[in-house]
Structures are given as C-alpha cells and as structure tokens.
C-alpha cells in the first residue's frame, strides 16, 4: 500500500511513467538533494535531464513538441519528484503550469512557435509574474501598468507596450535558462473604473527588467524565486498574450489548474515523509526493540498513510475531471487544502519519529519540514482555498 500510485483510475502508461520518474528521483535527484539545498541554486543539469525524459512536455500534444500525454501524467511526475525533492518538483510544476500552459493555451501561432519548442523540451524555463507587494491573495489588485504606445510607422500592428511596476516571489524567473516571463498588468480602466487586466510576454534580458536577488527562504532552497522590477520595459505590441482585458479570467484558470499539480506535489512530500519514517521505525531500536513496535509510533505511521491516500485521491479526482472537461475548481481547492495539510502534518510526525536526527538538515525529513510550509501558501493560501470551497457551497465568503 505504501508508495502505491497504482490507483485503479490510472492507465498502464501512467503507472509506467510514475515508476520511471520515481526511479529517476531515487537514482539522480535524491543523492544530490542535500547538496543542492545547501548550495541554494537550481541545478540546471538536472532540469536538462528532466527535459530529456520529456517531463516538461507531458501534457502537450506532439505537434508542439510535447509527449501527447495528459494532465494526470504531469501530476504523477510532479508527485514522484516531490517525494525526494520539493524544489525540483516545483520547478517542473511551475515551469509547466505557469511557464508553458498560458502560452500554449492563449498564444498566437507566432508566439507558440517562438517560445514553446525550448520550453516544452526543458531547454528553457518560463515564469508567471502575477504577485505584487499589494496583490497576492487579491490578485486583481495588480498595480503594474502597461501602456500601448503607437509607433510612427502608421500600421495598426506597429507599437509597443511600455510596462512599469514590480512583482514578487516569481518562481523560475532568474535561472540561467529562463527565456520568458508572462507579466500581468493593468492595460486600461473600464468605464466602471475597474482595471482592465491583460497578460504580456516579457523576454528575459529585456532592458528595464531587473531580476532582484534570490530570496532567503525558509525552504525550497533549490527552487529559483526572485522579485522583479519593470521600469519602462518595452516589448512589441504583439507580445500581448491572449485577448486584451481577459488577463484576469485567464490567470484564474491557470491557477485553478495549477492547484491540482501543486496538490500532487504536496502529496509527494507527504509520501516521502511517510516512506522515510516507516524505514526508520523499522530500523531504530530503543529500549531493546524497534520504535515501530510501539503502538503510538505505528498509529502515527498509519495516520500518515491515511493522509497520503486521501490527498492522492483528491488530486486524482480533480485531475480526472479536468482531463474529461468537467468542472474542477472546487475539487482543485479541496485537493490543495487536503494535501497541504497532509504534507505539513506528515513532515512534523516524520521529524518526531526521527528524534534528534530529524532536526539535522542532512536528513530528508528535516528538509521536508522546512519545505512543507509554503505548500499552505503558494498558488493560493489555505484561506483562499477555503474561500473557494465556501463559495461553492453557496456562501458569499
Ligand atoms: C516560494 C514562493 C513561490 C511563489 N511563486 C510565485 C510565482 O511564480 N508567481 C506568482 O505570481 N506568485 C508566486 N508566489 C506568490 C504566492 O502565490 C503568494 O505569496 C500567495 O498567493 C499569498 O499572497 P501574499 O503573500 O501576498 O499574502 P496575503 O495575500 O497578503 O495574505 C496574508 C494572509 O492573509 C490571509 N488572507 C488574505 N485575505 C483573506 C481573506 N479574505 N480571508 C481570510 N484570510 C485572508 C491569507 O490567507 C494569508 O494567510 C510565490 C510565493 C512563494 C512563497
């Protein structure tokens, strides 16, 4: 039962994929995870290997360079990586959900042609700049502006967006292989005074775009996260991603979907803690017997297993609904809520089972303990998930 991803809802291909990524995680990622965490840098060499395995292309069709699999497959890969390293898992999760998906879904033929080949193959990473100092949970409160300046050429297509503002906590925005950042910005005011929000593609290295120093984070040390400043950033008019004024609707969809893969990530973290704790409970002898022989320890492990199983069923249900074109918004929030709480609880319980050794950074459960906190914050806090679920119940929350 432990480590069992062979849900009856999975196809043979999906089970095989899950197994392949688990082996990659165990053989390649896990042995170096402590070193990456200490060095606090994203190992691009590992990202390249993930690219070669086709992980960034999983949910995309073959005609854009993808693997022709589906969103469930992506979630399985994210879960398998998160067992051993949440930072590597979130690099894939955000790289696909925030970096590639908006361009795949809303991009013009020219935008797809320019950006997708490198992103889908893992040769490049994309980022999504939504959050600002005053716009996190209330993402619609974006202050960054983009003004359309018409060119002198006289053509309707002539012109540039001039972007000013700042963003914070942007994953994958400052890696050596980051190629593009999708920025949300206010492009006008509607007649009723509300902001017209749009999304615009800003290539890395565009003059006026400053990628700030990496944050000194509690966890996810290997994942790349930066603040961004945009001062008079000029990009062609054609860099508008999707319809002008549809930015809010588009990023809400991206976030809803992303929460499912994020929930798979949290499930993987909870699973990793369980596996480590089970192993240690069998090995560690205290008072002349293995600590797992104590009913309290065994019950703790049983509870950890129950949390993992419930979390996995939640993300799988939401992902299956997404794949089959059914509404999934509330289910995605239930999955994110359940799995984030499972990861936090399992990290705490696993650390306790390891005793003093659980307090050493070299121990994977100690890293999971630090890393798990952000699972209750990123891609919508626990309270935002409760808000969405309460609204689904008909409350004005
Ligand atoms: C490591 C990391 C990576 C990230 N990556 C990205 C990224 O790639 N792109 C991106 O755009 N953003 C990213 N984020 C930002 C993340 O999505 C936000 O931090 C998150 O949405 C919360 O926003 P905030 O930090 O501004 O908190 P706030 O919105 O300021 O919330 C503070 C607290 O108030 C609570 N709260 C707020 N409103 C309510 C309410 N109405 N009812 C009850 N409670 C409420 C919140 O739940 C929270 O507990 C990342 C964050 C981190 C830490």
Is the predicted pLDDT of residue 83 greater than 70, yes or no? yes
Structural domains of the chain in order of their starting residue, each with its CATH number:
12-123 (1.10.540.10), 126-244 (2.40.110.10), 249-392 (1.20.140.10)
Is residue 379 annotated as a catalytic residue, yes or no? yes
- The mean pLDDT value for 145-171 works out to 88
By three-state DSSP, how is residue 252 classified?
Answer: helix
Q: What pLDDT, on the 0 to 100 scale, is given for residue 154?
A: 59
The angle that helices 71-82 and 295-323 make with each other, rounded to 10 degrees, is 150
Backbone phi, then psi, for 307, in 5-degree steps? Answer: -65, -45
Residue 28 is classified by DSSP as: I
pLDDT classification of 155: cutoffs 50, 70, 90: low
Contact present, 121 and 67 (Cβ < 8 Å)? no
> Cα angle vertex 247, ends 244, 252, to 5°?
155
Counting Cβ atoms within 10 Å, is residue 313 exposed (0-12), middle (13-18) or buried (19+)?
A: middle
Angstrom distance (rounded) from CA 245 to CA 196: 5
Please provide residue 8's backbone torsions phi and psi, each rounded to the nearest 5 degrees.
Answer: -65, -20
Distances (CA, A) of 392 to 62, 326, 387: 36, 15, 9
Residue 156: pLDDT above 90? Answer: no
Q: Name the helix (H) or strand (E) containing 145.
A: strand 145-149
Q: Is the model's pLDDT at 1 over the cut of 60?
A: no
Across 313-329, average pLDDT: 97
Instruction: Please choose, from the candidates 171, 204, 166, 203, the residue with its C-alpha nearest in 3D space to the C-alpha of residue 185.
Output: 166
Distance 322 CA to ligand 1 centre (A): 24
Nearest CA to ligand 1 atom 4: 169
pLDDT value at 350 more than 90 = yes
CA of 310 to the centre of ligand 1 (A): 25
pTM higher than the cut 0.95: yes
* 62 Cα–ligand 1 center, Å: 35
Q: Is the pLDDT of residue 4 over 60?
A: no
- Average pLDDT across the chain, whole number: 95
Helix (H, G, I), strand (E, B) or coil at 195: strand
Residue with CA at minimum distance from ligand 1 atom 50? 169
What percent of the chain stands above pLDDT 70? Answer: 96
């Amino acid at each position: 039962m432990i480590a069992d991803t062979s849900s009856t809802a999975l196809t043979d291909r999906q089970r095989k994929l899950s197994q392949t990524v688990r082996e990659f995680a165990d053989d390649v990622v896990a042995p170096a995870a402590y070193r990456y965490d200490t060095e606090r840098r994203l190992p691009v060499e590992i990202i390249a290997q993930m690219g070669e395995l086709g992980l960034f292309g999983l949910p995309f069709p073959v005609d854009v360079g993808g693997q022709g699999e589906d969103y469930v497959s992506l979630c399985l890969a994210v879960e398998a990586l998160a067992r051993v390293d949440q930072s590597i898992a979130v690099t894939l999760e955000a790289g696909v959900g925030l970096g590639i998906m908006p361009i795949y879904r809303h991009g013009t033929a020219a935008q797809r042609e320019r950006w997708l080949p490198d992103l889908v193959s893992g040769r490049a990473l994309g980022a999504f700049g939504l959050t600002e100092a005053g716009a996190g949970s209330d993402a619609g409160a974006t202050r960054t502006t983009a003004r359309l300046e018409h060119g002198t050429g006289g053509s309707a297509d002539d012109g540039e967006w001039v972007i000013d503002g700042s963003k914070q906590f942007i994953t994958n925005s400052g890696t050596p292989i980051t190629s593009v950042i999708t920025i949300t910005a206010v492009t006008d005011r509607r007649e009723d005074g509300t902001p017209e929000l749009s999304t615009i593609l800003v290539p890395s290295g565009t003059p006026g775009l400053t990628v700030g120093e990496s944050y000194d984070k509690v966890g996810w040390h290997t994942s790349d996260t930066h603040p961004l400043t945009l001062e008079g950033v000029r990009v062609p008019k054609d860099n508008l991603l999707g319809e002008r004024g549809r930015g809010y609707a588009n990023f809400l969809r991206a976030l809803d979907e992303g929460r499912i893969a994020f929930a798979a990530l949290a499930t993987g973290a909870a699973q990793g803690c369980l596996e480590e704790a089970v192993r240690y409970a069998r090995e560690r002898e205290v008072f002349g017997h293995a600590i797992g022989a104590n009913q309290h320890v065994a019950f703790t492990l049983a509870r950890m297993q129950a949390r993992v199983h419930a979390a996995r069923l939640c993300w799988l249900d939401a992902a299956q609904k997404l794949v089959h074109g059914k509404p999934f918004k509330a289910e995605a929030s239930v999955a994110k809520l359940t799995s984030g709480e499972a990861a936090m609880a399992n990290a705490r319980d696993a650390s306790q089972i390891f005793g003093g050794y659980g307090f050493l950074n070299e121990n994977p459960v100690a890293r999971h303990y630090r890393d798990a906190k952000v699972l209750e914050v990123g891609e919508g806090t626990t309270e935002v998930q409760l808000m969405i679920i309460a609204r689904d119940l008909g409350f004005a929350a």
